Amino acid sequence: MSDVTLRDFRSATTPQAAAPAARIDEDWLAVVLGLGIFVLGLAVLVHVDVIGWVVSTAVWGHLGQALGPVSKTYAPLGGIGALIATYAALLVVLSAAAAALKTDVKRFALAFTAVFWIAYASWIVGNYASFAAVTAAEQQKFGVGWSLKLTGEGAYIFALLAGLFIANVVPRFADAIKDAVRPDLYIKTAIVILGGFFAVTAAGKLGLASSLMLRGVAAIVEAYLIYWAVVYFIARKWFGFSREWAAPLASGISICGVSAAIATGGAIRARPVVPVLVSSLVLIFAVVEVLVLPFLAQHFLSGEPLVAAAWMGLAVKTDGAAVAAGGITESLILAKAAAGGTHYQPGWILGTAATIKVFIDIFIGIWAFVLGSIWTRHLDAGRGADKARPREIWQRFPKFIIGFVITFAAGLYLALGTPADIAKNVPAAIGEANTFRVIFFVLTFFSIGVLSNFKALWREGFGKLAAVYLVSLFGFVVWVGLVISWLFFHGLTPPAAS
Amino acid sequence: MSNSEAATAKLRDELHNAPPEPLLPVEKKLIALSLAIGLALLAVLAAVNHFVPTGI
């Protein structure tokens, strides 16, 4: 995924002054941020609680119950103190990140202040018991007579809706805070942290975890070899798009949304405007998917939680939306299962959706190189475009995956390869880092909403592009994804919660 | 009309009125090979999935 909107499309169509080169790209920055938070969390293992002040939000009936520091060590801070400390820490760290990206730090800090407080306020609202309480006992505990039973994680939708409101009702404000609207950076950082969390979850059931990984291979085959070919054919044959438009469109719809569209556009030497416009479409349809598919999954697939998880990873495009959809699906299915008396261990649905997505991401560079080779050597050989080179595979490799692998491996080693007195503290240590992961998810949801100006897209009049997307996504990709998820994941369920 | 609006209009016009680009043999080969390999691999993986027990 990449932070693109129609404003980027406009800038891609009109001459602009060259922006200063960043010291580091967003992928590597996400690795640094994610690993930094992960390592600080691990200090608990040597009895130093460095980040225990990070704010955690619980389901609440009155506001005083909502917030608190994640660690009891910092209990004197109180909920508001923890929230302010979290905001201040993120402001400092992300402002430094903005400086490394050569963004105006003052503008970033102001924009981030608005992004953080609006996003977190919507997250708190979403945790109100009338939205989040699941069982009758919880409703009674929090003193509410009814509940939407969305669970606490369902509050991500509130952050998304807040972003959508800003994008579509007060677009000038959306433009004013655009410097801090960076779903790409937020979700990649979250995914790096998620690696450690998923490792701790998987450590108890290594057999199941390795089975899930093997099934991820099927997802790669499906996305690259089947989806891509069909969508490319539809775009070229039925809708009459040129090769320059059809290839990024096919990659955007079938592989991994924005990053795949941009990688393919670069590889086939398309004009910059092509993948940017495709990316705007990807983001908008991803929002629709996030708002619809998790609820369909809860209704129809609550008995097959990992089919639902794989479906989110395969059908929802862009990393942020897919992993977030996995999170919402987990909360909805776990809530429904709990209401029926089955208590699944949390983390498996989210971890499966994220793993499927990461597996798919790994091959973006290779696929882009394959397409680039075909385009520059056969299809556009006479156009004088420079030939695709193997080093582009590494250039287009999504580097944040390295961070995910490192935290996963480290988490697994700490949980399984260390003495019992250390291993017993690993879940708490990674849990502190994971609280930051939740906050980065909230920021991602809000940012995706802010980037999704539906009115602007329709006004531009690119209905033909949207039609290909609509036909391919909801006529093919979503349903084939469901069939293949069923084929490879049915009968697998998360372990029971202890 | 601003530069941005002109560019948008040009692009919209390009999308709607571009001359048809017929599918070339290389593209047909790419689509067919991709689908054939994909379906074959899925069949193999489905068989492996069926015969190799899950390590739960």
Beta carbons of A487 and B49 less than 8 Å apart: yes
3-state per-residue secondary structure call for chain A: CCCCCHHHHHHHHCCCCCCCCCCCCHHHHHHHHHHHHHHHHHHHHHCCCCCCCCEEECCECCHHHCEEECCHHHHHHHHHHHHHHHHHHHHHHHHHHHHHCCCCHHHHHHHHHHHHHHHHHHHHHHCEHHHHCCCHHHHHHHCCCCCCCCCCHHHHHHHHHHHHHHHHHCHHHHHHCHHHCCHHHHHHHHHHHHHHHHHHHHHCCHHHHHHHHHHHHHHHHHHHHHHHHHHHHHHHHHCCCCHHHHHHHHHHHHHHHHHHHHHHHHHCCCCCHHHHHHHHHHHHHHHHHHHHHHHHHHHHCCCCHHHHHHHHHHHCCCHHHHHHHHHHHHHHHHHHHHHCCCCECCCHHHHHHHHHHHHHHHCHHHHHHHHHHHHHHHHCHHHCCCCCCCHHHHHCCCCHHHHHHHHHHHHHHHHHCCCHHHHCCHHHHHHHHHHHHHHHHHHHHHHHHHCCCHHHHHHHCCHHHHHHHHHHHHHHHHHHHHHHHHHHHCCCCCCECC
Local structure of residue A242 (DSSP, 8 states): -
The tokens 């059931």 sit on which residue? A205
- For residue B27, the chain A residues in CB contact (below 8 A) are 232, 236, 243, 379
- Cβ atoms within 10 Å, residue A34: 28
Question: Which pLDDT score is estimated for A178?
Answer: 93
Q: Is residue A357 part of a domain?
A: yes
Q: Is residue A38 part of a domain?
A: yes
Nearest CA in chain B to A494: B56
Question: Which pLDDT score is estimated for A35?
Answer: 97
Q: Is residue A496 part of a domain?
A: no
Structure tokens at B2: 């601003």
Residue numbers in chain B where pLDDT is lower than 50: 56
C-beta separation of B5 from A9 below 8 A? no
Nearest CA in chain A to B55: A207
> What residues form DSSP beta bridges with A60?
A128
Q: Does A228 touch chain B (CB under 8 A)?
A: yes
Distance CA A144, CA A138 (A): 9
The domain of A27 spans: 6-489
Residue numbers in chain A where pLDDT is lower than 50: 1-7, 9-10, 13-17
Question: Which pLDDT score is estimated for A180?
Answer: 96
Q: Is residue A246 part of a domain?
A: yes
Q: Does B1 touch chain A (CB under 8 A)?
A: no
Structure tokens at A61: 């009936």
Question: Which pLDDT score is estimated for A93?
Answer: 97
- For residue B24, the chain A residues in CB contact (below 8 A) are 379
The ranges assigned to domains in chain B are 21-56
Q: Is residue A495 part of a domain?
A: no
- Number of separate domains in chain A: 1
Structure tokens at A461: 């009049």
Distance CA A34, CA A338 (A): 32
Distance CA A249, CA A243 (A): 10
Q: Write out residues 27-56 of B within 8 Å (CB-CB) of A.
A: 27, 30-32, 34-35, 37-39, 41-42, 45-46, 48-49, 54-56
Give per-residue burial for A53-78: e unless 16+ CB within 10 Å, then b: bbbbbebbbeeebbbbbbbeebeebe
pLDDT for A192-251, tens place per residue?
999 998 888 888 777 777 777 777 787 788 878 899 999 999 999 998 899 999 999 999
Query: Which of A13, A236, A277 is the closest to B23 by Cβ?
Result: A236
ipTM at complex level: 0.90
Nearest CA in chain A to B53: A211
Question: Which pLDDT score is estimated for A382?
Answer: 64
Beta carbons of A225 and B26 less than 8 Å apart: no
Local structure of residue A56 (DSSP, 8 states): E
Q: Is residue A498 part of a domain?
A: no
Closest approach of B21 to chain A, Cα-based (Å):
6
